[in-house]
Amino acid sequence: MVSSEQRRRQLAREKYERQMQARAEAATKRKKRNVVVASVAALVVLAGIGATAAGVFSSDKKDDKKASAAPTPSESGKKWAAEPAMSIDAASPYTATLDTSAGKVTLSLDAKKAPHTVNSFVFLAGQQYFDGSTCHRLTTDGIFVLQCGDPTGTGRGGPGYQFQDENLTGATYPAGTVAMANAGANTNGSQFFLVYKDTQLPPQYTPFGKITGGLDVLQKVAEAGVKGGATDGPPATPVDLKAVTATKG
């Protein structure tokens, strides 16, 4: 017989998974929309080529872009066209520090089991991508996580690129786990979550590290609850990422 507490947690898990599914569907719609935009852009480029051939399209040096092997931010902000090239040593340990308005949280990153994930996190930290952002989502019923990594603070932002899932075989999410949030399979970007209490989730979210210090900071934030008394939403105690650093060793 299922107890009321087990049923409550089951409902919370189902709600969380429905939300993730809705985000996956939204991501699919965005991809379709981007295909249309790309098609329009191609037509504009062709029109430009035709005008140049006719001698009426003048070159503007401000529009010239130098080729680069490394990802470059888009003109609209810190976004990149592709996942950064592998630059970490997957055989070495990495550590990260989240200097937050609620206190310091330290992480150990598992580059061996999640090399693409750790490489991306280290890259974004080095670009100060996370600095000044806020942890936008706290869940306190059934799922016990604080979600961060979106500079827009909406839960819909990302770095412009996506990368593959990793380390999912047998994945579990006990307290202290650091894992990637996503909008479906292989849609990892910049958003991640910190598990402050043992949580039951399907193995669909890449675990890439452990909290080595500051778990009490997260638990204190959780105790203060969610704004408005809800169980899922912005934390009542703001958690701003003042600086995020990641280093080898």
Q: What is the CATH number of the domain that holds 189?
A: 2.40.100.10
Q: Does residue 30 form part of some domain? A: no
Q: Does residue 70 form part of some domain? A: no
Q: Does residue 17 form part of some domain? A: no
pLDDT at 53 over 50: no
> For the segment 126-149, what is each residue's pLDDT rounded down to a tens digit?
999 999 999 999 999 999 999 999
Q: Does residue 63 form part of some domain? A: no
Task: Name the residue among 228, 246, 10, 7 with its Cα closest to residue 138.
Answer: 228
Q: Does residue 232 form part of some domain? A: yes
pLDDT of 15: 73
Mean pLDDT for all residues in the chain: 82
Q: Does residue 159 form part of some domain? A: yes
Integer Cα distance of 124 and 112 in angstroms: 19
Average pLDDT over residues 101-106: 98
Integer Cα distance of 48 and 25 in angstroms: 35
Give the list of residues 6+ apart from residue 158 with CB closer than 8 angstroms, or none: 79, 150, 189, 190, 191
Integer Cα distance of 194 and 206 in angstroms: 12
pLDDT at 203 over 50: yes
Task: Name the residue among 215, 165, 156 with its Cα closest to residue 185.
Answer: 165
Q: Does residue 77 form part of some domain? A: no
Integer Cα distance of 142 and 195 in angstroms: 12
Q: Would the CA dihedral through 17, 82, 61, 53 be positive or negative? A: negative
Question: Which residue segment(s) compose the domain that 145 sits in?
Answer: 94-248
| Structural domains counted in the chain | 1
Task: Indicate the pLDDT class of residue 18, thresholds 50, 70 and 90.
Answer: confident
